[in-house]
Structure formats: structure tokens, C-alpha cells
Structure 1
Amino acid sequence: MNLQPPPGVSLSEAADFLAKYPQAEAIDVVLTDCHGIGRGKTIRRHELESLYLTGRAMPASLFGQDVAGDDVEASGLVLNDGGSDKRCWPVAGSLGFQPHAGRGQVLVSMYEADGTPFDAEPRHALLRQIARARAAGFDPMGAFELEFYLVDRERDAAGRYQPARYALTGRRPLAHNTMSVDELDEMSPFFDAVYEGARHLDLPLESVISEYAVGQYELTIRYRDFARAADDVIVGKRLIRSVARRFGMEACFMAKPFGRQAGNGMHLHLSLADDAGGNLFADGADGKLSPLMLHAIAGVRDTLGDTMLVLAPFMNSWRRFASTVYSPANDAWGLDNRTTAIRVPETAGKARHFEHRVAGVDANPYLVAAVTLAGALGGIAAKADPGPPNDGRLAGNNLGGRLPRSWLDAIETFERSAFAKEALGARLHRGFTAVKHAEWERLAHEVSDSEWSLYGFVV
């Protein structure tokens, strides 16, 4: 077995952490599965250096589990080799401290016994697409936005979840209060703790707003290297959840937790840089949009139907498209048009980029980033034409045409897709498809309370 760490992994990172945080008696070791859920273990302080020297064994079957952690045998990842472990190594630069918990945290990635990346891991799929981009002379840069609800542990009289009380005053929010600064002040003890944690986790959180629904918020993250941008989502969601628990509330990252309120999106901002860091999507001297960016947009548009399962991976994800005020259910593009799937924000010149608005915050950021970059690179290679921008409001649910119309349709489209198989790799493509089929079948047998109330004693 190869016990040489991957490039960039250095024992000095562990030594520096131990010296800086003598109070850290434990470290959370986090491997991100196909759903974006952290799987792993908590190790003691004295074990940290060995993680950097020899890695840590974990089962590959973690990538063949459904969202509840149950094995899906059809994934081809469960006991296919007798259940042997693979070797996990730290993601360089991801070791940090969680002040609210008093523990450290480090992301890890899985490798085969010979040191090659385990090809069913989503993070490696993204790294392969980044390597493809760099081979073509492009350095991908990006950032995600995180929308979420803060929810009370206490349910209302009807047994429904309800918005969390403000951390400062204890009052319960009753109105949308979209972009209310006073609302942020009332929740400021919570956000102060989140920002403090982000500082120790190298998580570049930026602005926070109260969003379009009662109890909904959005955090933006600074633009940077594409792989780190996806890591930021994993670290950010875990931080927000963990801090929320210590304030007696829960952070909810479902795509559509409340049927009559706004859904939670995870908008992806993407551009390509040259070797010197210059933005290749920057407007031309004549003020016109970059042809390179237009080709990239065309490629993303052309592959959006094939990738809807990645962008909307759960049954609940599809509820977000039922009311599409700011949740585009189409494959259109537009200039500063929030009703289109792909929006070119008004930030012009050197800051020019595009925003992919379809994914819910429940999606795996590595998979979203991988298929978006793969689509963009394909469009660039083909010099594809995105067509004219849509300058009007796209109202209602526009799924159809080139896009799947339901979760099952998306699963079957993804399963047939040569693009998805190529972009993610055959083993990850097969495993993800099987897991989603299993989840669909699991929920197909469940009868909801809504069905009982609507049909139970009437039909």
C-alpha cells in the first residue's frame, strides 16, 4: 500500500494547528459523500499527526449509501471487494478550529491503495474537470451562495415546524422582512458566532441578508479557486448547522421546507482566469460580452437537462420549482435576469462572470461544480452559440422541452446521459444513479398526511 500523502499535504499543517490551538482535544474528520453529507469520525488530538503521515482508513461503501446512510447494493460500491477500506488523506489547507464546539475540523479525500484518487468520490470528479480546464489554459474561479432557514426545535400547535426565535430578543419573526437590517440585528448573536467560526476555518464568508421568507437567510462567500469554493459550501453548511444547535435552533438546508414560501437555492458564480489571474470572461474593449463566456453559457445550457438530477437530487428539490419566483425552472439565459437559469450579472468589465441559478442548496457542491464546468468546457470547445438572451420575465414552471419534468424523469435522463457519465466518471455515475433510484423507490411507498386528508375518505 502507498502511504505517501497526496501533493500539498504536509505534516507542518497539523503541527501548526496543534501549536495554535492547545485547547483542541479532538478533531472532526469529514469525508463528503455523494449527497454532500459529512461522513467520518472524531479523532483525539494525539492522532492528528498520524492522519497527515499515514492517512486514515474508511469504507468506500460510504459513497454507495442513500441519504439515510443505508447501503444501496446496486451502486456497485457495497461489499464489492469484501468491504475493504480505502485510504483517506487530508485536503490541504482545510484544517481549522471550531470555537463554538472546541474541536478542530479537517476535510479528507479518498484514495486507492496505490495512491490514485478513488473515482467514485465527487470531489475527485471536480478535480478532474479542473485539471481538464487547466490543460486547456483556463483556471476556474468561483463562489456559491447559501440560502437556508433557521427553524425552532419547538413545533407549533398543529405540529408544524416554525421559524426560530431571534437570538437577541427571543421574539418570533412573523413577517418576510426581506433585507431588513433590524432583523439581522435581532439574530446577530448567532451570526457573530458563525463569522467567528468562519475566521478560524479559513471560510471567507461575506455579506448576510434576511431573504424572501420568514426565517430565511442568505450568506455569500468570497470568490476564489474553484475547488476551494466547493469546499467552502461543505465547511459553511456544517458550521451554520453546528452553531445553530448551540442557540437552540436548527439550520434547514432543504430546497423547499415550506410549500408556500421561497425555496433555498445555491447559486454558483463561475469565470475562467488565465495564468496571470486575468479574467478571460472580461468584456472586450468594445464593451461586448466575451465570446468565450458566451460559448461556456451555451455549453451549460445544452447539458442542463442531463444534469438536473445533480442540481435537484431529492424529491423535495423538485418542490422548489412549483413556484418559480426566483427558482428558475428553465434553461434560458439573460442579462441581469433572475428568472433565467443562467444569469449574467450587471457587474461588467474585469469582474464579468455568469451565475448558474438552478441548483438547490441541498445539492452536492462538488457535483454541481463538476457538471457546470464540464458543460462550459464542452461549449467552449465546440464554439457553441447560446442564442439571444432572454430579456423578459419567465413566469411559471417552464420545465419541459429539453428539461426533465420530475425527479424520476431526471433520474432516468441522468442514467442515459453520455455527458453525465463522461463528466463524473463511470463508477460515480453508476453509483449516484443507483442511489437515487433506491431513494425514489423508498419514497414511492410512503403515503403522506396530505394524501390522507385529500383522498382518504372521499374517493
Structure 2
Amino acid sequence: MAKPKDPKSGSPSGRGVASAEEGRAWAKKRGIEEIECVLPDQAGVARGKIMPAAKFFAKPQLALPSSIFCQTISGEYPDSDDKWQADPADGDLMLEPDWSTLAVVPWASDPTAQLIHDAFHGDGRPVEVAPRQVLRRVTELYAHHGWTPVVAPEIEFYLVKPNADPDYPLEPPIGRSGRPEIGRQSYSIQAVNEFDALFERIYDYSEAQGLEIDTLIHEEGAAQMEINLRHGEPLQLADQVFMFKRTIREAALQHQIYATFMAKPIAREPGSAMHIHQSVLDTETGKNIFSDEKGRPTAEFFSFIAGQQKYLPAVMCMLAPYVNSYRRLTRDSTAPINTRWGYDNRTTGLRIPPSDSDARRVENRVPSSDANPYLAVAASLACGYLGMMEGLPATEPTEGSAHGLDFELPRGLLEAVAAFEDCEPLIEVLGEAFVATYAAIKRTEFETYMRVISPWEREYLLLNV
């Protein structure tokens, strides 16, 4: 398989421009006929409009209904209550393009570009519940102290056979050998080679969009893969994860395969995570504040860890957003069940990878791959920020396995939502409107789930109770 290509090495495609005029020239040079005006919603789903390029660059006023940020994953809406009030008129939100995200849509049949937008109220205020704005709100808190957070996500996913009937379990796809995987194939090059053609397409699509893949590996599960991204500014990296998910799904469909980011898609296989590596730089000097001049860990480093230990349970509904997400977080799996931390310890929720002092960082291993990347990064950074603001002390590092220790994370979605709504420091950081809206969405999704009768219930209750 070919090595990942660097989109900065002179590719005629690339990603991002500085202004509308540059965007017009960029589109003309590539013969772009259509523009996808994309808005990430609370689930990380791409919503928006598609229009002819000529009409788009004539600068029409783009708008979407305010309910776009209140929609559940099943397309429903929460009922209004005292904590959360939707706009009864469902008025319009104004969309403004972020020109730094302009990129081609390499799988489109006609020359097409995509452009992520931000949402604003009619009076010009940013929409406070929009996921990109929630992440900006958190990074602005860091900026107020002269800090720049840096993140590097790792995204796991499964390749599966096409499955049109949700009553049937998912199965691994057929590779070039003509056989599906059986058994565990962690880090197997041969298992990756089974899908060489697909990964070549992913690399080509990524290069066309200016997306930077660091590494690709085969994970523990059957046809479970992981793609690591290079570190960078949080909003840019969240944008990349958002676009990568779409890219991988589209590339897989070209090969008659599904790519899924469900946290636990196959019962007896490991779950899929979105690990987030985090460090913080002094904005003025560019130095990592987690290390002092002699390369030793600082008080900020340990307080960042402590903040994650204290507050990660309260943001679990952002890191594990669906009922399925909690099937991954079990004692008999490789996923963490607590907020312990350790040096190079993959059984803890928080791992400190081996590195030199300049690259000292904290890996949050709790989030699942089904999480909205904007909200997962925002939640994780918010916890670390609160730890530093409160000067919290971290526990002693865990040595050996943490899997046999007590659960410290919520076991289900409703428990997670209750902890989320009750945490005043996080409400202040993330915003009251967002917390109320997001909690209402999650409760509604749980009620939708409760309307479904599972095979387990039919298997064990039908004739026994």
C-alpha cells in the first residue's frame, strides 16, 4: 500500500482559502459547478444546502431553521420544558462560510466543493448551541490566559458487509482473499492489505481535500481500523475528523462496504474509540506548559489530569452520546471504566504516552468514535481547563491494570445526562443554553430507544416470564 501523501507538497487541490474572492478564483480554476454548504449538527451529521457555484458566489443570504441544532439522531425533536425552550416560530439562522475549510468533494460525479459554515442569529450573535461555537467558547477561555491547546485525535472504525436489515447483526466484509477475517488481527499489515484498494481511495480522497493522515493501523477487532491525525489547533482538527468520517464512509461505499463509527457495532468484538491527545502551549513562547525549563512535569500538567479525573464523568454524554456507546465501556473489554491515569498505561482512562518534555501530553481514552468531534474535544479540554483553574491535585499514577478497579464513569445515558445537568462549573464553561439543549436531545433519544424491543428481550423473556 502506498504511503500517506502530504497535501502540502504541491498538490493542485489542497484545502482552504482566506476570503470569498480567493474562493471564487479557487473554484473557477477547478471548474467547480456546485457548492455543498455544510453545517455540523449536534450529532456531527452534515446538514446544509447544495447550490450552483454561480449562485453561491453571487452571495445569497443562506439560512436554515433554528431547529437544526435541536434534532435527534432519529430526526425527532425534544418537547419544550422549563429548562429548554425552542424557538416556537422555528425562525431562521444565518450561515456564514469559514473559508479555511473550502475543499473539493472528490467522490462527487460533477465538480463539487464543500465549505463548512457557522450559524448566527439575525442580530449577528453566534449561535451558542452550535458545536463549532461550543468548541470556540472553550478555546477562548484558554486564550484568555495566554494558552493555546493542541490536540491529536485517533479514530477507530469498523468495515462491515452492507446491512440493509437492522434486525441482522453486522459481519466483517470480504477482502481481496475472498474470505472474511476471523480472530483478532491487531497491527496486522496483511489484514490491512486485504483492503488495499479501499485505503488507496481514502488516501486519494484525503489528499484531494488537504486532510493529513499520520498513520493507519489495524485495530484489535475483525476489520477494525484506526486512523491517526497530526496534532494541531482544536477547531481545525475537529473539522478534519468531521470530514474524515464522511470521507471514509464514502470511500467504503465505492467498494460495496460500510464503514461504521458506532461505538459497539459487533457484540463480541472490541468497541471503537476516539482517543484525544492533548497538550497546552504558552501562546507567546510556543513552549509546552506541561513541562518546566528542566523538562520536569509542571503543576499545570497534574492539575490538567486532575480536572479530567474530576469532570470527565460529568461530560460523558458528550463523549459517549448514545445508548450503544455504553456497551463499549464494560469491564470485559479493552475500554476504560474509570478516570485513573498512568504512564504508558492503556488500561487507564487517561494515559501519559512516552515522549520528550516538549511533547508531554495527556491522552484521553474515554471518548467513543460515535462522538461529535467538536463536542468531544470541547468537553475534554473543558475538564482540563477547570482542573488548572481550580489547582486540583491528581491522584497517584496507576501501575498495572485498571480494569479490575471500580467503575467511575456513568453506566448509561440517562445517568450521564443527569451528571451533565448537575455540574455547575461545566455549565458555566460550556454555556447554559447548550447544556439544556443537548441534555433535552439526549433524553429524547433515550425515549426513542425505549420504544424498540431488543432480541435479548425476545430471547429470554418471551416464554420464560
**1:17 maps to 2:26:** yes
Equivalent position of 1:422 in the other structure: 428
> TM-score scaled to structure 1, two decimals?
0.92
**1:99 maps to 2:95:** no
Whole-Å separation in 2 of the counterparts to 1:214 and 1:308: 27
Show CA shifts across 1:305-362 (max 9, x none). Answer: 2111111110000000124543111011111111111111011221111111100011
Q: How does 1:404-423 map to 2 (within 5 A)?
A: 404-423=410-429
Whole-Å separation in 2 of the counterparts to 1:124 and 1:146: 22
Equivalent position of 2:441 in the other structure: 435
Equivalent position of 1:138 in the other structure: 147
2:150–2:278 Cα contact (<8 Å) kept: yes
Q: Structure 2 counterpart of 1:114, which letter? A: D
Equivalent position of 1:194 in the other structure: 202
**1:161 maps to 2:188:** no
Identity of aligned residues (%): 30
Equivalent position of 1:5 in the other structure: none
Show CA shifts across 1:418-447 (max 9, x none). Answer: 133222211111111111111111212321
1:125–1:423 Cα contact (<8 Å) kept: no
1:345–1:355 Cα contact (<8 Å) kept: yes
Q: Structure 1 counterpart of 2:29, which letter? A: K
Equivalent position of 1:4 in the other structure: none
1:174–1:184: structure 2 CA closer, same or farther, 3 Å change rule?
Answer: same
1:94–1:201 Cα contact (<8 Å) kept: no
1:374–1:160: structure 2 CA closer, same or farther, 3 Å change rule?
Answer: closer
Q: Structure 2 counterpart of 1:16, which letter? A: A
Equivalent position of 2:129 in the other structure: 120
2:282–2:289 Cα contact (<8 Å) kept: no
Whole-Å separation in 1 of the counterparts to 2:378 and 2:95: 21
Whole-Å separation in 1 of the counterparts to 2:425 and 2:314: 7
Equivalent position of 2:97 in the other structure: 90
Equivalent position of 2:348 in the other structure: 340
1:38 is matched with which residue: 43, 46, 49?
A: 46
Whole-Å separation in 1 of the counterparts to 2:38 and 2:319: 22
2:244 is matched with which residue: 212, 224, 236?
A: 236
1:81–1:9: structure 2 CA closer, same or farther, 3 Å change rule?
Answer: farther
Following superposition, the deviation at residue 290 of structure 1 comes to 2.5
User: What secondary structure, in the 3-state scheme, does the structure 1 residue paired with 2:108 have?
Assistant: coil
2:275 is matched with which residue: 263, 267, 287?
A: 267
Equivalent position of 1:109 in the other structure: 118
Whole-Å separation in 2 of the counterparts to 1:124 and 1:374: 14
Question: Could you list the runs of 5+ residues in structure 1 that have no partner in the other structure?
Answer: 1-7
Equivalent position of 2:368 in the other structure: 360
Q: Structure 1 counterpart of 2:129, which letter? A: A
Following superposition, the deviation at residue 12 of structure 1 comes to 2.7
1:328–1:16: structure 2 CA closer, same or farther, 3 Å change rule?
Answer: farther
Q: Structure 2 counterpart of 1:307, which letter? A: V
User: What secondary structure, in the 3-state scheme, does the structure 1 residue paired with 2:327 have?
Assistant: helix
User: What secondary structure, in the 3-state scheme, does the structure 2 residue paired with 1:422 have?
Assistant: helix
Q: Structure 2 counterpart of 1:381, which letter? A: M
Equivalent pairs counted in the alignment come to: 445
Show CA shifts across 1:58-94 (max 9, x none). Answer: 1110111111122223378886241211111112311
1:324–1:396 Cα contact (<8 Å) kept: no
1:90–1:107 Cα contact (<8 Å) kept: yes
Following superposition, the deviation at residue 244 of structure 1 comes to 0.9
Whole-Å separation in 1 of the counterparts to 2:84 and 2:295: 51
Whole-Å separation in 2 of the counterparts to 1:104 and 1:78: 36
1:392 is matched with which residue: 392, 400, 414?
A: 400
Whole-Å separation in 1 of the counterparts to 2:271 and 2:384: 26
Please provide the CA RMSD for this pair: 2.1
1:279–1:356: structure 2 CA closer, same or farther, 3 Å change rule?
Answer: farther
Q: How does 1:246-265 map to 2 (within 5 A)?
A: 246-265=254-273
Whole-Å separation in 2 of the counterparts to 1:279 and 1:164: 46
Question: Could you list the runs of 5+ residues in structure 2 that have no partner in the other structure?
Answer: 1-16
1:303–1:419 Cα contact (<8 Å) kept: no
Following superposition, the deviation at residue 153 of structure 1 comes to 0.8
Equivalent position of 2:188 in the other structure: 180
2:39–2:117 Cα contact (<8 Å) kept: yes
User: What secondary structure, in the 3-state scheme, does the structure 2 residue paired with 1:304 have?
Assistant: helix
Deviates more, 1:277-286 or 1:421-430: 277-286
